[in-house]
Structure 1
Amino acid sequence: MSQEELAFKSNLDRTYISMLERGICQPTLNTIFSLSKALNTMPSEMFKLVENEYELE
């Protein structure tokens, strides 16, 4: 999915999506819920992905 499509589906700005991907911004809980809905996943699954990244470091 493109940044533009994700931004549209989550009602966020495309540049904000880009900043999230690059680690420039940290999402709020509301943003995480908007993104998870747009990605058809549960917020808890998104948190698990982040947890797994930290376990590997």
Structure 2
Amino acid sequence: MNHKIQIGEVLKKIRKAKRITQWKLAHDISINPTSLSKLERNICEPSLETIFLIASGLDMKASEFVKEIEENLELSRKHE
């Protein structure tokens, strides 16, 4: 599994756990809801700026968001 897939999975998992809709998160961080949907579906990859925006919208630090992605990647590698 590659990092692009991990980003979308983690983004969606955290967003849903916090009970935030795609529309609300996109609106709060001033990005197009379609762009956020594409990120979650791994159609595109976020820029560094977008990672910071997403983390902020999820009320976490970018480093915490990246750590979640890394941990998810490690877990998926153990299950391969």
- Coarse TM-score class (shorter-chain normalised): over 0.9
- Which of residues 23, 41, 45 is equivalent to 2:60? 41
| Largest Rg, 1 or 2 | 2
Identity of aligned residues (%): 39
For CA contacts below 8 A with separation 6 or more, give which structure has more relative contact order. Answer: 2
Q: CA deviation at 1:8?
A: 0.4
Computed over aligned residues only, the root mean square deviation of the Cα atoms, in angstroms, reads 0.8
After the TM superposition, which parts of structure 1 deviate over 2 Å for at least 4 consecutive aligned residues? Answer: none
The TM-score normalised by the length of structure 1 is: 0.92
TM-score (norm 2): 0.68
Runs of 5+ in structure 2 lacking a partner? 1-19
Q: Any gaps of 5 or more consecutive residues in structure 1? A: none
